[in-house]
Amino acid sequence: MQDKHWTLRDMAAGLLVVLALALPFVRLPGDSAARMKVHFRSDNGETPRVLSTETSHSLCAVMAAALSYENPDTGAFTQVNCGEEAAATP
């Protein structure tokens, strides 16, 4: 059996992958707050539902790209909308 040792190249590649996966969750300078609204209906045909939360605009954009779909056979869908948050009043 051959022993495998971590090399510097392997550790650098692993660190790069971890950083790339964490990037959508890091608040970037100048990134504004957004109201994320998720409209969805499951396969069983119940009425559409809405879920709303506050998050950064960059994370909302990633979630919108990853989660939006529509199934014409069953009528199930998920739609993610990103709206700007109103400025906080003093």
Host domain of residue 59: 31-90
Q: Does residue 10 lie within any of the structural domains?
A: no
pLDDT band at 16 (very low <50, low <70, confident <90, very high): very high
Q: Does residue 36 sit in helix, strand or coil?
A: strand
| pTM for this prediction | 0.57
Q: Please provide the average confidence, as pLDDT, over all residues in the chain.
A: 80
Q: Does residue 22 lie within any of the structural domains?
A: no
CB 50 within 8 Å of CB 37: yes
Q: Does residue 82 lie within any of the structural domains?
A: yes
What is the mean predicted confidence (pLDDT) over 74-90?
70
Q: How many domains does the chain have?
A: 1
Q: Closest by alpha carbon to 79, among 88, 89, 69, 87?
A: 69
Q: Does residue 38 lie within any of the structural domains?
A: yes
Q: Does residue 61 lie within any of the structural domains?
A: yes
Q: Does residue 79 lie within any of the structural domains?
A: yes
Exposed, middle or buried: residue 34 (CB in 10 Å: 0-12, 13-18, 19+)?
buried
Give the residue, 4 or 61, on which the prediction is more confident. 61
Percentage of the chain beyond pLDDT 90 is 9
pLDDT band at 56 (very low <50, low <70, confident <90, very high): confident
